[in-house]
Amino acid sequence: MAEAEESRAGGAAKPLFAGLSDVSISEDIPVEGEITVPVGSHSPDEDYSTLDEPVKDTIMRDLKAVGKKFVHVMYPKKSSALLRDWDLWGPLVLCVSLALMLQGGSADSKEDGGPQFAEVFVIIWFGAVVITLNSKLLGGTISFFQSLCVLGYCVLPLTVAMLVCRLVLLASSGTVSFIVRLVVVMAMFGWSTLASTAFLADSQPPNRKALVVYPIFLFYFIISWMILTFTPQ
């Protein structure tokens, strides 16, 4: 016990950093300087926020993005542009334009030759939602709004067909007019179907692609039928 107490007393007498007494710093090594905490450099792109940009720049940027998606639809190919940078501005504009052109006349008229605005609007968006839910239930890998974006943008060829049909009906409404409208609507129907499947096919399981394509076929067929059977007041 006495030896243990002596060893403790001897250990307590030693300095805390006894080993540092033998360390010497050479005079040739400069020791002056500043101690700073390195902060990662930020590029101008990282500090840039769309909240600070002018409204004009925001509108032009969105219009260019919508225009690029229109180009992708008119020249369909396997591309992730519609899926990566999705938006609903283009589909909304196309849906409203198509509904306005399909409207036969005033809401109070009982002799309308076409559906009303609300009917077209609901048919397009309800159909797109049903197709999207069907795609998700079958194991699709894209999100809900990505599918809505693709289906909405692919209405563009049918909107063009509706515009052509209105111009043809202004010229004449006989058999030749019907044949021209039939050819235009069938061509744009095939275009819309092929464009949508080109963007959505790879996101579905290989053994279930037919179950996804069939509702898309019906969706654009119904819109095409409304366009073909439209007769102005």
Q: What gap in Å lies between CA 197 and CA 212, rounded to an integer?
A: 9
Q: Length of the chain, please?
A: 233
Q: Is residue 11 part of a domain?
A: no
For the entire predicted model, the pTM comes to 0.68
Lookup: tokens for 84: 């990566």
Q: Is residue 73 part of a domain?
A: no
Q: Spell out, as residue ranges, where the chain has pLDDT lower than 50.
A: 33, 35-37, 41-47, 105-109, 113
| Backbone CA torsion sign across 79, 80, 85, 91 | positive
Q: Is residue 187 part of a domain?
A: yes
Q: Is residue 180 part of a domain?
A: yes
Q: Is residue 185 part of a domain?
A: yes
Q: Is residue 66 part of a domain?
A: no
Cα 216 from chain centroid (whole Å): 18
Assess contact for 148 and 91: CB atoms under 8 A: yes
pLDDT tens digit sequence for 53-112: 777 878 888 788 788 888 878 777 655 655 677 788 888 889 898 988 887 644 444 555
Q: Is residue 191 part of a domain?
A: yes
Cβ neighbours around 27 below 10 Å, total: 7
* 3-state DSSP percent of the chain in helix, strand and coil, to 5: 70, 0, 30
Could you list the residue range(s) of the whole structural domain that residue 172 is in?
87-105+113-229
Q: Is residue 91 part of a domain?
A: yes
Number of domains comprising the chain = 1
